[in-house]
Amino acid sequence: MKEPSSLPIAKKIPARADEILDYVQYVLHTVEEQVALSLEAKRNIKLILVELVTNSIKHSKDDEASIQVIINHPTLTIQKVDKGLQIQFASNSHQIPFVDVNKTIQVSFSEKKKQHIKVLDRYEFEFVDAFKEGISLEEMPEHFGLYIITLASNRFVYQHDPTSMENRFIVNLNLDE
């Protein structure tokens, strides 16, 4: 069995939105040099990278934020790593560190609209698709980018390390599906 391999992503996450497309194409090319991708996988990887980078441009204050890609066939993992405070939810939501683990709960970022998450640990949760039957215009989650990543992946997890103050958005894709 092959060992997991971490791909070298030499380019920094762009600071401007107009550089996203070139960055995404660069990362995708790096992945394709290592593993053959189906059209569907390629499309989903593009969506995931666009939204991870967009999220970084919008929210990360860390100039050293990075994208890491790990292949452990058949799983492809894309991680966005940055340093800073943990995700802050609205004041009426549960907050990190969570008290109740292994529960699916609703949180909101800043408005009334809810994001569904499954709490995995005090500092870790998984994004959950709560709109399997389709979405109405009123229900659209406010952080739609995170929802897109949830739909385009097999698993999407957020982790915060309170000691190193590191945030990880971990996206897993099964390349055999």
Partner 1 sequence: MNLSKEKVNNILVLSIEEREANLSKADHFKQLVSEEIDKGERKLIISFKNVEYLDSSFLGALVGILKHLIPLNGQLILTDLNGDIENLFALTRLNKIFNLKQDLKTAMLDL
Q: Which residues bind partner 1 (CB under 8 A)?
A: 16-18, 20-21, 24, 39-40, 43-44, 46-47, 50-51, 54, 57-58, 131, 134-137, 140, 144-145, 147-148, 151-152
Name the residue nearer to partner 1 (CB basis): 81 or 145.
145
Is-contact 173 154, C-beta < 8 A? yes
Is-contact 173 153, C-beta < 8 A? yes
Q: How far is the CB of 70 from partner 1 (least distance, A)?
A: 23
Helices 20-32 and 39-59, interaxial angle, to 10°? 140
d(CA 156, CA 143): 14
Name the residue nearer to partner 1 (CB basis): 8 or 134.
134
Q: How far is the CB of 138 from partner 1 (least distance, A)?
A: 9
Name the residue nearer to partner 1 (CB basis): 100 or 138.
138
Comparing CA positions, the residue from 19, 49, 51, 45 lying closest to residue 32 is 45
Name the residue nearer to partner 1 (CB basis): 64 or 129.
129
Comparing CA positions, the residue from 167, 156, 169 lying closest to residue 129 is 156
Name the residue nearer to partner 1 (CB basis): 23 or 125.
23
